[in-house]
Amino acid sequence: MALKEKSKEKRNTLLKATFSLVNDNGFHDAPMSKIAKMANVSPATIYIYFENKQDLINQLYLKVKISFTDRVLGVFI
């Protein structure tokens, strides 16, 4: 697997872990340490992909919004 693919896969794993924790526990009960543990990475790894928690949440929001839009538009196209 290419390095770029691994990076993309790890980033997506972090986004999925964040989505799950925030969905289940809320923003404030989803610390970076729990996100890292759920994604099986060190907390420092998160900062390779995201500037801070707010950036992680913003990127997650964009990913969810794009996915939702694609699904809705897929119904009409």
Spell out the domains of the chain, with CATH numbers in brackets: 3-76 (1.10.357.10)
Q: Stretch 20-42: mean pLDDT, rounded? A: 95
As given in the structure block, the two tokens for residue 43 are 């907390």
CA dihedral 36, 37, 38, 44 (to 10 degrees): 10
Q: Considering the entire predicted model, what is its pTM?
A: 0.84
* Confidence check: pLDDT of 65 > 90: yes
57 residue type, one letter: I
* Confidence check: pLDDT of 22 > 60: yes
As given in the structure block, the two tokens for residue 10 are 């790890």
- How many beta carbons lie within 10 A of that of residue 18, not counting itself? 25
